[in-house]
Structure 1
Amino acid sequence: MPHDHSDHEHAHALLPSDPALRVKALETILTRKGLVDPAALDEIIDTYESRVGPKNGADVVARAWSDEGFRAALAVDATEVMRELGYYGRQGEHIVCTECTPSVHHMVVCTLCSCYPWSLLGIPPGWYKSDAYRSRAVREPRKVLAEFGVALPPETAVRVWDSTAEIRYLVIPLRPAGTEGMSVEELAKLVTRDSMIGTGLARVPG
């Protein structure tokens, strides 16, 4: 029947086109229906943006830069290391660390959906989930890196890792020059989320 619309269809028609506004409108609708607790949503968002977020991954990278024994342990069983650090949980059950070197740059993509180590990097960015990134990262990784502002020397190979429901990856970027003598806390501030996906580089001090 042309005028027989369900509540779902009616609610969908009222949603604005802007993604952020659509999310807020959906949250309002679900809250009014008693299906969502706003406090619980705020807690989840705060967990992954503030308390979990990329700072956990940055801590791992900084430790790897500073401690040969820690870096060796990551190579043997990164998942166990994460568990010992408490960086373990939703979408972070099986972790592999890949270390960039002057001869090989590592980059991560999930070609099927958006598998991502939430416990280490927080909520995945929108571009990571996009069809364009998921397809082009495999076919033309250097072009994708260039669009992120990463220009690698011709002699540096690019290796792309496909994240899955079974395994998620953390990239250990190259340690920037001029960081000798810096503490783990100072080094962690140089590590960006994108550098741990491989679509960026660590910050240069100063």
Structure 2
Amino acid sequence: MSESFDLGRNVSRETSERFYHYVHLLRKWNPAINLVARSTIDDVGRRHLADSAQIFDLAPADAQIWADLGSGGGFPGLVAAILAADERPHLRLTLVESDQRKAAFLATVSSELGLKTKIRAERIESLGPLNAEILSARALAPLASLLSFSERHLASGGVALFPKGANHQVEIDQALEDWKFSYQKTPSRTDPDAVILTIGGITRV
């Protein structure tokens, strides 16, 4: 490998090689289908890989079913799948992405890297309940909308992991108008203004 990425954590050699292959495919496909902003492609390690890896590190280690909504270029879903291949082989990930071209990218990466993922090229609202023990979504929708998705797809006792930016408290306050939930904020390792929200006990008010 001629390139390494700062993931903010240690990984095995095999995992590092998978990330290298993943980024190679990301850069190959990105000009055609805009998987990530061009301004971030040269800093993909910090902006996307490390940012997603920290979400994986907050996920319950004993969970077996993880659903990532609006996976796009695979953040955090593919990153979690790559880390899980070596560290949590019992974990199965479902990546939901309605854009057919992006879903094809996710399927290609999963196949070439030998990842245990299921790609669902459907709209989140039209899917039957996924009963996920872990639910994630990165840069997809306001928190109130994500809680509506969680109500449908999160298993009883499961946790939702949602990275949010500088206005996260505003989103929390707005969501609390219609939802009751517990939450914990973990400061982001890649953005001083951002947090990862760990959310559970989601019910409508």
TM-score exceeds 0.5: no
Which structure's relative contact order is higher, taking Cα pairs within 8 Å and 6+ residues apart?
1
TM-score (normalised: structure 2): 0.21
Which has the larger Rg? 1
Q: Which has the higher strand share?
A: 2
TM-score (normalised: structure 1): 0.21
Q: Which has the higher helix share?
A: 1
